[in-house]
Copies of this chain bind each other. A is one copy, B any other.
């Protein structure tokens, strides 16, 4: 595969290694190097021969260390790319289905090359003239997709749901303590309120809610975990009770974080109820739609997201159900005027007179300063496939998940947790007999079979635990994000799970 690409321009074998990717010579400098990368990707993948390399993490780390120590000069690009490809868990392999870790579309990856080569940075217009305009246009379109009025909304590209959730909670906090107050947060009560702040989110919500609360100085225990139903959706009655109790204790209900697509099961909280309760208690509503946002692309699944437009802010991640290479996070707010706490004048980036002269600045929209143009690959993908084309990919993954759950149901050794909402489902292996086996042993077998599949290089299956305490909560997970995988391939993956389960039982 080393000859996969051939230069039409003169041979570049004498090219110094210090050539740049930009300028008139950039494409010519890149040509032989991209050929090297494509060849090494193909060779490494062939050598891997499956969803991930067989062996232990220590063995792989030793291989990587050897290559890292030995690679030098113009051979380094090939050797290191080869070992990266060999040592990848490739989400394009139908047996790699553990995480919200999608196989990117080739067109998105190609678009991202343009961004690397030109290296725009979104923190000032004069580092990203066209990219500034393009990000603004894309965000307006995404705001419409969510159901916001694009003339009232605002947003920014982020590194992912964790950063987007942090931003939502930061705006919720700053709305209360004042945007430019510079005041330190009080334990005894937020400045301006004298009350302890609380954030409400379901037990099945992403851990970034707690992490954000800690980072923001609110403390992890500001987060009140709201009980879930058996589908792992937030229980409306439990949220109502939690909010009522909060106010009764004299505390401040700062924010509700509803999840539209939990990491493990794709569960979608009751968004309309969350919105009405948030409004009733004056809490900011942030919807973490990092996963479920993909449903907005599908005619069939979009109704699941009804109510998302009522949120004050939303997280979307197109590197989950959107086939983009990382990072493709999006943070949107419904009303641009609520987005003031990051506004910032840096004399070297967005002086007042430049803005008055018509030079726009995205600096005040992001927690970051230097910022890659992640909007570009999303814009190219959206225009290449259209919302319809992307929706068909979402539908294909949803159908795959449905066929996977049917296969689980049909297998005597597999136990399904629940039907898929989006493209993921939980299940577990149950030993042959006795069925009333020690739940700790079932947990051990399931955790063990997953590691066995990894060690043998056969499959990358997810593993998680149901909310609650005590043994018997370990579950396996398939997150199906490869629209080209077939039901037969998912069945073979489940067969591999069962075979590994039997092998673990015999230990």
Contacts and interface: CB of A to CB of B under 8 A. Distances in A.
Contacts of A384: 17, 72-74, 76-77
B21 A104 contact: yes
Contacts of A187: 183-186, 191
A163 B482 CA distance: 32
Contacts of A353: 444, 447
A23 B90 contact: yes
Contacts of A73: 383-384
A336 to B, nearest CB: 18
A161 B369 contact: yes
A278 interface: no
A107 B17 contact: yes
B383 A71 contact: yes
B88 A130 contact: yes
Interface string A317-348: 10110010111010000000000011010111
A370 B326 contact: yes
B36 A110 contact: yes
Contact of A106 (B33, B359, B370): B33
A29 interface: yes
**Among A18, A65, A185, A221, which residue has the most Cβ atoms of chain B within 10 A?**
A18
A128 B27 contact: no
A64 B134 contact: yes
A366 B433 CA distance: 43
Interface in A83-123: 83-93, 98-121
B8 A8 contact: no
A40 interface: yes
23 contacts: A22-B93, A26-B106, A30-B38, A41-B114, A41-B118, A60-B129, A65-B133, A68-B383, A80-B380, A85-B114, A98-B126, A101-B127, A119-B319, A119-B326, A126-B460, A159-B159, A185-B186, A206-B369, A208-B369, A211-B344, A329-B370, A347-B464, A348-B464
A360 to B, nearest CB: 6
Interface stretch (A148-156, A305-313, A385-393): A385-393
Interface in A447-474: 447, 451, 454, 460, 462-465
Contact of A111 (B7, B37, B130): B37
Nearest to A23: B92
A109 B104 contact: no
A238 interface: no
Given A107-B33, A124-B99, A182 B219 contact: yes
